[in-house]
Structure 1
Amino acid sequence: MKLNKSNLPFIPTVFNIEDEVNYLSRKQQIKKSAYKLQDQYLYYKSKNEKIVWISNENAIIELISDSELSRGVRLTNCFDKDEFFGNANNWYKL
């Protein structure tokens, strides 16, 4: 899924869930970030405090497993995907 670095299309208020998750960077390194979900928008703050977001509307949502990172969630929209690992069952339900 395409990660957007433009302004958020909503005002951050009450989150459905907020949690520290692990993900694999483009260089296949394990990174941590605090992901937040508000309605259909999943977002986090980058190192330079810029908000990076995606909309999970119309996405395929799957539970996945990784031998090193445990259980996770994959969001797929067309040919783009985003995978993160942490409290997967709670993320999947929402």
Structure 2
Amino acid sequence: MADTSFFGRLKTLFSTGTVMRRGMDGRVRVTDTNKLQSVGNLATNKIIDRYSRLFGAATQTQTFGTAANYQTLRLSLFNDYEAMDDDSIISSALDIYSDES
């Protein structure tokens, strides 16, 4: 049965199963106890699956979603650039940069 306590869940969330030790010769040795990086386990690896879903071949709906997200991101970047003029430190740094160039 899975550990459902608070600290058990945190341990499961943040543990990687990787142990790093410095050997007698000064080299770092990495031991993968959960075999997450093994070649035979790539099909079931959560990290590989997440990467392939994010950066895999895009279907038509994913392409539309990416285009819509690009427009939203573009507008937020313009708002960030406009907000730079309101910040005194960034505004003075931008003034110095524009005077130098």
| TM-score by shorter chain over 0.5 | no
Which TM bucket (shorter chain)? under 0.3
What is the TM-score with the length of structure 1 in the denominator?
Answer: 0.18
Bigger Cα Rg: 2
